[in-house]
Amino acid sequence: MDFYVRSASIIDKLNAGQGSLKGLATLHDKQGDGRRLIALVIETLKYWPSLQAVLAATDLLDRQARQLAHYKLSERSAKDDKVKSDRLPKPATLAAVLAHDLLFSKKGVLALPKSHRIAQIMQGHAAQLRAEKERLKIRTGAGSDAALQVSQPSVAHGKGKSREIDDERDPVLGKTRWMRINLLRWTVAEALDWLAQNGWQLVEKSQNSLQPLQIHLDGEIPSLLAFSRALDLVSFAPYQDGRLIAQDKASCMPAHLLLTASQRPGLVIDATAAPGNKTTMLAAGLPPGVPIMAFERDRGRVETLKKMCNIAGCGKGSTQAVRVINHDFMKVRAKDLPLFEGNLFVLVDPSCSGSGIRARLDHLSQSGQDDTPDRLKALSGFQTAILSHAMRLPRASRIVYSTCSIHREENEDVVMRVLAKPEFVNQGWELLPRSQVLPSWTRRGLVEACKGSQDLADGMIRCDPAQGDDSNGFFVAVLTRTTEDVDAGMLPSTEQETLSPAALPASSKSALRDDTDPLGDLDVLTYFVFGNQLAQERLKRRRLR
């Protein structure tokens, strides 16, 4: 029953415009069931208007709303009571999710024991619900249950053309299921050998979908495999034990571009690390001995990050352990960082509108929350601030900036804004050219957003599923420092960046709260990275000043 409650909670958040489907599924994920959550939410939203019509024509909510509300407060076990009250669903939403499985799932039954109180309530109204569904089909002229789904919108495709969204392409995951070979547990050769021995065929990927038992090794990201969307992850052993990690191709690009630098970093920071796919990819690709600091300011998401690191083989106690730090990256100062030789690399993937993912769900969501100019301005301000903060860290020489947004305000505009700041011009920060940023990827930045410079636009990467890219909507740019002044410490800002918490997504607002500790910010970080002894030494020195 908890699975239905979490699915309904996600729908409420989506309809309130409080996050993207993928992000909300990550927050509500338990025991790796995030993809099942996504599937149920999508299927429920496809039938949302029909479900509302059917429920309105019955007395289910009139008679049982209190029971549905009472369940969520009383029957969740103490161990599972990590879901905050603001994530609990409305009774009407929970009823819609339950009614979907009763009316439109393949088996037409709830995934609940027959003795469960909620199952008994729904079964008591099943005949009435099914009768109203048939009446709705007659009224609307629907010849089948599928005809009751929300109609698919047309999307831009080429010059002046449009096409219907192909139903074969999952609204979130596309026609391909991308799986990254976890190099901490498997080599590419071992993966291909295992797959071949288990009946998989390695093929060249065409424009058509892969068939079951066909795989393709990506030509741009060497450890990435493409599978058919028919792949069942629940029974797929390499996924269950962490040898393969489900990760969209676009999401692999930032870590890949940080790893392909010719120089070896002395320290790597993931500024906003949860849920952990990019972090674990960094851990798998870095030379042994290079420390990784993964910052995440939300306590709930920290647990997800730790779990992901443990599954991938880079958790606490492992050879290539990631240092997971529950702290706001925006509060990190030069003196908080450990001593290291070489330069600093930073991955900055901040909170964004999620439009690269939501664009494929807008026709299902009831939120009505558009990416208004004010909201994009607030997000862009935050993104500019966090990217600028990373660029001011001492010995920072390579920074990858990425978003899952399709809006230039969050992408090219942010990059162009920071590169134009006098402090960064003086420090020699530049955009890495196309020749070093996945040159074979055809979709690049918007020239009109780069002051008409084709070279600057070519240095940025865009992914757009509406234009045929088999990935989520995404943006990536790599900034590098080319002067000898990489040892400069934190420099004062030449302008005051302002953040508007009211305009940020709900997932970001909660993260603006400070963590408190008697040692203070500096020594909290020292404690996590080095242990108590050095933290106490730093605290003693600070008191003697």
Residue among 430, 428, 476 at smallest CA distance from 455: 430
Q: Taking the CA atoms of the chain, what radius of gyration do you get in angstroms?
A: 25
CA–CA separation, 324 vs 123, rounded Å? 46
Angle CA(143)–CA(146)–CA(147) in degrees, nearest 5? 50
Find all residues with CB under 8 Å of 169, minimum gap 6, and list them. Answer: 175, 465
| Residues forming beta bridges with residue 228, ordered by sequence position | 176
- Residue 418 has φ and ψ, to the nearest 5°, of -70, -35
SS3 280: helix
CB 142 within 8 A of CB 136: yes
Q: Please tell me the distance from the alpha carbon of residue 196 to that of residue 17, in angstroms, as a whole number.
A: 44
Q: How far apart are CA 222 and CA 478, in angstroms?
A: 19
What residues are annotated to the active site? 404
Residue 15, SS3 per DSSP: helix
Q: Is 296 annotated as a binding residue?
A: yes
Lateral strand order in the sheet of 201-202: 201-202, 214-217, 224-228, 176-181, 244-246
Answer for the pair 91, 122: CB distance below 8 angstroms, yes or no.
no
Residue 525 corresponds to which tokens in the numbers above?
């970080």
Q: Residue 328 annotated as binding? A: yes
521/525 Cα distance (integer angstroms): 7
Distance CA 204, CA 161 (A): 28
Peptide bond into 439 cis (omega under 30): no
Do 466 and 154 contact (CB within 8 A), yes or no? no
Residue 11 neighbours by CB under 8 Å, 6+ apart: 41, 44, 45, 89, 93, 96, 97
Task: Give every CB contact of residue 173 below 8 A, 6+ residues apart in sequence.
Answer: 38, 229, 248
Instruction: Judge whether 349 is annotated as a binding position.
Output: yes
CA atoms within 13 A on the CB side of 495: 14
* Residue 34, CA distances (Å) to 44, 78, 384, 400, 456 in order: 15, 21, 31, 27, 38
3-class secondary structure, 116: coil
Binding residues: 296, 328, 349
Binding residues for S-adenosyl-L-methionine: 296, 328, 349
